[in-house]
Structure 1
Amino acid sequence: MQFLVNVIDDGQAEAAGRTASATRAEADAVDALNERLGDAVVFAAGVSAPSDAVVVDARRAEPTTVPGLVGDPAEFVAGFWVMDLPDAEAALRVAQEASVACNRKIELRPLL
């Protein structure tokens, strides 16, 4: 099964006066987790700051673009993994490890 594992920044970067979400220690811990997980990591990436976001809605005749996030900017996706894991139980264990490594909340969702 594949899972989307979102890293949620709820103010850590801003509180530290940084634009990048992770500290060096957190980035090193994530690198170590990625190495340990090996082929289970299908893809992983950090995501730029919310100030770089643009919401696009072209469902009507006149498309709109709005700077910023689609939702509450108090919490945002700072990075993510797509992981191939045996089941939801294993995914939950990995999400807990990811939360420790990132020092962030994790949103775990199965891919359809």
Structure 2
Amino acid sequence: MLYAILAYHVEAEVKSWTADEDASVMTGLRGVHRRLAGQLGPAARLGDTRDARTLRGPGHGMVIDGPFAETKEQLLGLYVIDCVDEDAALEAARDLRSVNPTAVYEIRPIRVYLPGAPFPETEGAGDV
């Protein structure tokens, strides 16, 4: 079954990391990615929440600046992973958290997955 692992963190804290601190976390995460080879699908580090927009309301909807989360942490990234069950997905999230211990990971089953066309890697793709 496919699961989404949503990575939450205090954005200001992540942005305060030095280049070396950020590189250290990313190196650790790439190690987890290698351990999850064959299971791990798309992974993304999202852009700044200040650049996010929310579309809500009836009809054509209204675009509002920001994600307006009611938590201290913001959604900063996500993984799609293929696991035999929820326990395996939780173990993968624990592995990710072992190298980024101040992050919060939400594990959610994916009911519909449409992979779409493969995209080229974006700038900073090695940072995921």
Q: Which range, TM-score by smaller chain? A: 0.7 to 0.9
Alpha-carbon contact 1:54-1:67 (below 8 Å) kept: yes
Percent identity, aligned pairs only, is 19
1:41-97 superposed Cα distances (whole Å, 9 cap, x missing partner): 011111011111011125235x31111114236211111100001111111111111
Q: How does the TM-score come out when normalised to structure 1?
A: 0.84
Aligned-pair CA distance for 1:36: 1.2
Unaligned runs of at least 5 residues, structure 1: none
Structure 1 distance, partners of 2:71, 2:32, is 27
Larger strand share, 1 or 2: 1
Aligned twin of 1:75: 73
Q: How does the TM-score come out when normalised to structure 2?
A: 0.74
RMSD between aligned residues: 2.2
Structure 2 distance, partners of 1:73, 1:92, is 22
Aligned twin of 1:13: 14
* Cα distance change of structure 1 residues 36 and 17 upon mapping to structure 2, 3 Å threshold: closer
Which consecutive segments of 4 or more residues in structure 1 shift more than 3 A? Answer: none
Equivalenced residues, count: 108
